[in-house]
Amino acid sequence: MGHIGSSKDGTKAGMATAMMDIDGDSGDDDLDPTNAEILEEFGGEDAFRYHCKKFSMLFFEEYGLISHQINSYNHYVNVGLQRTFDGFGDLVVTPGFDPSKKGDNEHYRYASIKFGKVKLDKPMVWGGELNNQELKMLPRHARLQRMTYASKMKILVKVQVYVPKKIRSDKFKTGKEEFLDKEILTEDESEIIIGKLPVMVKSDLCWMKGEKDDCEFDHGGYFLIKGAEKTFIAQEQLYLKRLWVINSPGWMIAYKSQMKRNRMVIKLVGNSRNEGGENGDMFLTVYFLSVEVPVWVLFFALGVGSDKDVVDLIGCDNDDVRIQNILLASDCDADKKCGAFRSGRNAVQYLEKCMKGVQFPPPESIEECLEIYVFPGISGLNRKARFLAYMVKGLLLAGRRKCDNRDDFRNKRLELANELLERHFQPEHGHIRTRGWKGSLVWLQLLGTNPLQTMAELRRASQQVQYMGKVGDARYPHPSHWGKVCFLSTPDGENCGLVKNMAVTGLVSTDVSNASESILPTLLDCGKQRQSLPKRSTGFTENEGWTAMNDGDVSDVGDNTDGDTWPLVWRHGAVVDDKEALKPPLVLSERRRKP
């Protein structure tokens, strides 16, 4: 049997090597002149290596390999946990209906529960009957005794017991003949222990922060659950707080949210045959709170004063005949359904009439519905109207730029401990009384084979897909992954390409709650000025907010303080022309028109 592979004296291999070595004459000089000049500036090769080693040590001393895990957990403990309980609002306990007590309001007592400040203590353990006091609980104690390294979660609870009563008022001053008020019977405020929260090792709640390590290879970033070391797997998700251009049929733009009542859809509707109304034009309608109303009426309900202000808010090109026809048809459709919506409170009363006709009308008033359910992440009716105009402009200019690449890493975000814990506890407040705080989190138990394997597991990221057959190009490396994730470190099998490891020098930003506060001062220093109601506004999305800009001014629309996401999906039809619709990145889809 002959020799397999390359041989030293094989003529074929030697001929192939000679044919491939086309730059054989220049092979003596291995050092590029440019690199030689760089080495000279650093004082030689030895000095260059010293500086590289020093820079690497400074980088890892400042950030570390698992800083993203610890920083994300610290952000949740300091900000996210309190925001989660603040989002619960008042929990109202209603009495059961008793026919024998009908009309006797004194027997129908209600209770209101409101959560206050949350307090977390460092992990403690009871010393037993002999000691009869709580002692410090260190990570090694939980590891050896197979206990959970957790912190007691205390919260200030305010309970009110009241009886609702109807009070008559002056209709000329308040606009209502009577309103509901509550007579408080008892009121109590106390601090209770509501549960325990697992503590991440080396976080702000850990006793070992700033202390001498038990092991020099132990960098923290994991939890101790019944003695086992577990950590979160970073979830790779699409960035849903920006505008996306996707490829799906339909003329609509949607504001999606985790709560169905907060969702809003703006559609271009018309005749199904010629995609137009009576005159062949399409008009705009908005669907929210189970009702579909003209978008022009919603603008006036949000405080816009005239038709010209609506057109200026949208800020489209006046020379575009197609957009002018759509806006004119939308105005005419609003006149047909609510003729006098421009005067007084007629637009608000029309919305209130439509909401009362649904099967399950909201218990709040129409003013409260506009404030709570219409873009809950934005405060103020003027700001809500501005963002609504931005959505309408995107729908009118749909079809004028290509779709975004879903596999591009700039269009993705990593969900770490802060996002995963906050999303886990949001739907659990309804099960507090049943002690049913159970749910599925993306855990990974550390094997502890060697320190390098543990470090790789702490820097792992996974992309969740609903159906493996529709993964598409998500498994394949993308040029945007360079310097952020490792191309080679991925398992075999069905998770190949979906589970990745972050690059050694890859950093994850965690505390981005003050993004708008850091950008707006810079824009104002550059000569921009604030406006209460800018005209012809375009916008760009940030991690926690949206900023509107026009030719010379800037205005902060709002920040996403309630934890709600802003996934805006634009679905568009055939391409009208080759001009770009908006400068900010969008996500749209395409539907072909029949010739």
Residues 312 and 220 in one domain: no
Comparing CA positions, the residue from 421, 471, 426, 427 lying closest to residue 441 is 421
Residues 445 and 379 in one domain: no
SS3 120: strand
Asked if pLDDT for residue 87 goes beyond 50, the answer is yes
Residues 221 and 349 in one domain: no
Residue 525 within any structural domain of the chain = yes
Residues 427 and 530 in one domain: no
Alpha carbon separation from 52 to 38, 39, 389, 500 (Å, rounded): 13, 12, 52, 27
- Summarised one tens digit per residue, pLDDT across range 235-263 is 888 877 666 766 667 777 777 766 666 77
Q: How confident is the model at residue 224 (pLDDT cuts 50, 70, 90)?
A: very high
Mean pLDDT comparison of 149-158, 353-362, 537-546, highest-scoring range: 149-158
Question: Taking residues 264-274, what's their average pLDDT?
Answer: 64
Mean pLDDT comparison of 234-243, 299-308, 576-585, highest-scoring range: 299-308
Residues 496 and 557 in one domain: no
pTM beyond 0.75: the answer is no
- Mean pLDDT estimate for the chain: 74
Asked if pLDDT for residue 104 goes beyond 70, the answer is no
Q: Give residue 552's pLDDT.
A: 40
Last-in-domain residue among 441, 474, 501: 501
Tokens standing for 237? 């998700």
Q: Give residue 441's pLDDT.
A: 62
CA angle in degrees (0–180, nearest 5) for 217-221-223 = 110
- Summarised one tens digit per residue, pLDDT across range 24-52 is 444 444 444 567 777 777 778 888 888 88
Q: How confident is the model at residue 543 (pLDDT cuts 50, 70, 90)?
A: very low
Residues 563 and 483 in one domain: no
Residue 162 within any structural domain of the chain = yes
Residue 354 within any structural domain of the chain = yes
Residue 235 within any structural domain of the chain = no
Residues 270 and 368 in one domain: yes
Q: Which of 145-159, 174-188, 403-417, 424-438 has the lowest mean pLDDT?
A: 424-438
Q: Kindly write down the DSSP assignment for every residue of 429-455, as one continuous string.
A: GGGTTTT-------EEE---S-HHHHH
* Cα torsion angle, 59, 61, 65, 69, sign: negative
Comparing CA positions, the residue from 506, 464, 455 lying closest to residue 485 is 506
Question: Taking residues 119-145, what's their average pLDDT?
Answer: 88
Residues 425 and 359 in one domain: no
Q: Which of 8-12, 47-51, 142-146, 404-408 has the lowest mean pLDDT?
A: 8-12
Last-in-domain residue among 225, 251, 281: 225
Residues 220 and 320 in one domain: no
Q: How many structural domains are present in the chain?
A: 3
Last-in-domain residue among 225, 257, 288: 225
Q: How confident is the model at residue 566 (pLDDT cuts 50, 70, 90)?
A: very low
Q: Which of 16-25, 92-101, 497-506 has the lowest mean pLDDT?
A: 16-25
Residues in contact with 66: Cβ distance below 8 Å, sequence separation at least 6, in sequence order: 219, 220, 221, 455, 458, 459
Residue 22 within any structural domain of the chain = no
Domain region containing 397: 243-403+517-571
Q: Which of 253-262, 266-275, 452-461, 488-497 has the lowest mean pLDDT?
A: 266-275
Residue 511 within any structural domain of the chain = no
Residues 164 and 221 in one domain: yes
Q: Which residue has the higher pLDDT, 89 or 220?
A: 220
Residue 10 within any structural domain of the chain = no
Q: Which of 126-135, 145-154, 324-333, 547-556 has the lowest mean pLDDT?
A: 547-556
Q: Give residue 521's pLDDT.
A: 76
The CA-based diameter of the chain, rounded to the nearest angstrom, is 108
Q: Give residue 158's pLDDT.
A: 94
Q: How confident is the model at residue 177 (pLDDT cuts 50, 70, 90)?
A: low
Question: Taking residues 537-563, what's their average pLDDT?
Answer: 43
SS3 528: coil
Residues 252 and 221 in one domain: no
CATH label of the domain that carries residue 286: 3.90.1110.10
Q: How confident is the model at residue 561 (pLDDT cuts 50, 70, 90)?
A: very low
Q: Which residue has the higher pLDDT, 256 or 543?
A: 256
Residues 420 and 331 in one domain: no
Mean pLDDT comparison of 50-54, 316-320, 527-531, highest-scoring range: 50-54
Residue 37 within any structural domain of the chain = no
